Structure 1
Amino acid sequence: MTSREVLGRVALYALLLAITLLVCFPLIWAFFTSMKPKDEIFLWPPTLWPSTWTLENYRALLVGREAYFQAGAGTETPPPSAFFLQWFTNSVIVTVSTTLISTIVSTLAAYSLTRFRFPGQRAVPYLALVGYMVPSIIFVFPMFLVMADLRLTDTLLSLILGYVCITLPFSLWLMWAFFRSVPIEIEEAALVDGASRLRVFWEIVLPSAWPGIVAAAIFTLIVSWNDYLFGRVFINTMENLPLTVGVMHFFDGTHVDWGLMMASSVLMTVPMAILFMLLQRHLVAGFGAGAVKG
């Protein structure tokens, strides 16, 4: 490599590093703030690096409920930090359930749209995409009335059904575009050799469509994990709140517990960031593969 090429590559990496630090700076600031004692958080001028490191905020979130009841304060209303693990568990249950349902249904529906013939077949994917383009706030109140009639309000099932309704249309359209790029001749050859339709779907189609399935699953996972609107409308009790709604209880009027807020932000963001980095290759392949029809 020539000196010009080396300098160009160094400049490129420096630029990418600067952009990465700029994008990640809110999370970096949240992490260092969560490691500060409460009196240091409000120092002026503010500092990024803590002068005193503490895990008190994380301890309050992760073992706060046990410590609260062990202290004999069970007759009083527990502080919001005592519900953090319950909120985290609720979000995991809702996110995993929504992802499984939406991915399975969209995969089967997209396969039927690309392999079978029936009236209105071509209109279904585009109608689904139009449904996704409608803002979710338009659906939330009619869906709340439906959940009330079904007596599902204030339950995790209502959140799961609501998130499936807003993620399924785009997942269906994404999987439909991807299945169109999978050559049908491979399936026909397997059928001629005596394989059943189910075996062809399980052993040939699904492995070929794996990047698209992962892309649809990650999209559903991110939407259901980060959503605030449905949880705010559908859930009323502290024990059933999802994480995104529960952490808002750290705002008490004009007082904000910034230590707990920053610690909860880190615990909410880091698992999703790690998962996204591990599956990023499949996500890019899934979004790109459906653009080319084989």
Structure 2
Amino acid sequence: MNEAERLREAMLATERTDLDVLDLAAVVREGRRLRRRRRVAHAGAAALVLAVVVAIPVALTSAGPEPQRPADPVAGAPTAAPTTVPKTTATPTPTTTPTTTPAATTGSPGRSRPKPVGAVLSSGIRYGAEERVFYFVGVDVPKVPQVTIGLVAGRRDADGALTPDVLINDVAGRDRHPGFHEIGYDQQGDRPVHPPVPTFGYFVGPAARIIGTVDGRQVSATLARWSEDPRVVIFWFNPKALAPGVRLDGIVARDKRGDPL
């Protein structure tokens, strides 16, 4: 039954059978009652809706916290990379070649005049009135008693006076062990204080030929035996064939048959 039907019922209820005047007061009272009922009904519906809305978060809370979803990465933001432990590899220890250290003499080369041991060898290389010569001198290397000689590249003037330029000697082992010993190089750089020193050294053994290699090119050395011990072969390279100071890539000694020693 709708409101119009209820109002009509109220009007009929107040009508007299004898068709008297309509009781307006009763009609107003009944209308007020209907409006109050309508307002209560509307309020109840609103309360029901509110109850439903409030019940939703309560139900989610009782079920436990919602699992956290990882945030999407922000464009351009750095991302953490997984930590990895690098593999440890053994690094080979580089081998070092001992440098030539001049041993103690009666003075420093260029100022002193150490006495030659044996004959002084002429190289045929001249610097005006001077010529390049090679000769051995006695040396004293601390804690290395079997090294007693060193080879000098020096100059000899017209009067026969000797000026030593470079001295090389072993710093370990024996100075007469078979094979190559220290090799001397010119180390003046761009400011020479004396004529360039050819690459030189000595070899112990029956060497008939000594060949150096530089940049894939082979260069033969000039040989001369030491007067005090014929096993010791002094050698040097002509500066025109091998520029002073240029390091050799390799060197080999051969006997009379051409076999390597």
TM interval, shorter chain, is under 0.3
TM-score, normalized by length of structure 1? 0.18
> Whose strand fraction is larger, Structure 1's or Structure 2's?
2
Using the size of structure 2 for normalisation, the TM-score is: 0.20
The structure where helix makes up a greater share of residues is 1
